[in-house]
Amino acid sequence: MYRFRIEEALSRLSVSEDKEAFQKLALRYKQGKSSLTSSLEEKLVYLQVRLPATFTAVLTVLEEVKRRIPSFAPLSLLDVGSGPGTSMWAALEAFPELSSCVLLEKDLQFMNLARQLMHALSTPLSQQVHICSCNMETLSSPLYEADLVTLSYALGEVPSHFWERILRELWKATKQVLCIVEPGTPRGYKHMMQIRTILLSLEGYLIAPCPHQRLCPLLGTEDWCHFSCRVSRSALHRKIKSGSLNYEDEKFCYMIFSKTEALPIHGRIIRHPLHKSGHTEFVLCCDEGIVKCVSSKKEGELYKQRRKLSWGDAWI
């Protein structure tokens, strides 16, 4: 619902085909500064080329929340480092029952763009969305408590010595579920491992992507845990990025923590499955570490179900 309405709203914004602004933005993203922009022009380009990707990544994570906790029906959202409000739209897509949202953002231009998007989308929730100025480095209690708290593509832009205090404050504000998303780069994975350690020390239940709460088996290797989602591109998006395809793949890392236990999983698929004649090969993260599993036609209906599994899915 919202993904298509957002594309339509973005198409009405006045954005020049400023490839130089995009190149500056792309460089910052590669450096891990995923939403740091200086000019309004850069922010408008950000909306065209990054908002759809961030939206899709966050929505993918929230869909996993629904799978792990089917009964979860949040009424309130707190989004920290909200930018133009991207995570809120993903949350409304996943949980249309949301009735109140608080967005915390330090950049005034992003705050104004979030208001413009809300006006353009004419959501019935508009009167219950509060956009507040907030610098994460000075985040402190009391925060607005919410059923669902999100922090996407934002913590990596803050010096790491602030992280423990920020995460403690967010965990205190979380009534049920806290979702954190970062770029799917080795740097983003490294950040997730630090986040994971801090939140486990606060006795949160790690419900995804990890199928266990032991040390990550990829630590100390040249590999890193990350996932991918497919993002549709608008014509302007393709033009700014000089792309020919009408889609791109967004790589991301994520962690979902809950105040209560969730449905257990036996493992997580961490590579693209290899489909071969009569069988499919999977690489899984599970209690035993990283394991390879082969599913064959001999398994009948189970094999048919497993053939449909993708990178990032829970093992069955």
The region that residue 312 occupies, defined by phi over 0 for left and psi between -120 and 50 for alpha, beta otherwise, is left
Q: Where in the chain is the domain with CATH 3.40.50.150?
A: 2-258
Q: What's the CA gap between 123 and 118, in Å, rounded? A: 7
**Who wins on pLDDT, 118 or 67?**
67
* Burial of residue 310, with CB atoms counted within 10 A of its CB: 0-12 exposed, 13-18 middle, 19 or more buried: exposed
In this prediction, residues 53-76 reach a mean pLDDT of 96
Which pLDDT score is estimated for 4?
56
Confidence check: pLDDT of 32 > 70: no
Which pLDDT score is estimated for 191?
95
**What does the angle CA 285 – CA 291 – CA 292 come to, to the nearest 5 degrees?**
120
- Read off the pLDDT of residues 93-106 as tens digits, 9 standing for 90 and up: 999 999 999 999 99
Among the listed residues 93, 24, 21, the one whose alpha carbon sits nearest the alpha carbon of residue 57: 93
Which pLDDT score is estimated for 48?
75
Confidence check: pLDDT of 49 > 80: no
Q: What's the CA gap between 311 and 235, in Å, rounded? A: 28
Which pLDDT score is estimated for 175?
98
Residue 263 Cα distances to 71, 94, 260, angstroms: 11, 19, 10
- Read off the pLDDT of residues 237-287 as tens digits, 9 standing for 90 and up: 555 555 666 668 899 999 999 999 999 999 999 999 999 989 999 999 999
Which pLDDT score is estimated for 269?
97
In this prediction, residues 206-219 reach a mean pLDDT of 95
Q: What's the CA gap between 5 and 26, in Å, rounded? A: 25
Among the listed residues 54, 58, 65, the one whose alpha carbon sits nearest the alpha carbon of residue 147: 65
Task: Please provide the CATH number assigned to the domain covering 2-258.
Answer: 3.40.50.150
**Who wins on pLDDT, 112 or 60?**
60
Would you say 128 and 88 are in contact if contact means Cβ atoms under 8 Å apart? no
Q: What's the CA gap between 67 and 178, in Å, rounded? A: 15
The single-letter code of the amino acid at 264 is: P
Confidence check: pLDDT of 34 > 70: no
The one-character DSSP state at 314 is B
3-state class percentages of the chain: helix first, strand second, coil last, to nearest 5:
40, 25, 35
Tokens found for residue 25: 């933005």
The backbone torsions φ and ψ at residue 69, rounded to the nearest 5 degrees and listed phi first, read -130, 80
Residue 173, C-beta contacts closer than 8 angstroms, at least 6 positions apart? 78, 143, 144, 145, 146, 149
Which pLDDT score is estimated for 52?
87
Reported pTM: 0.87
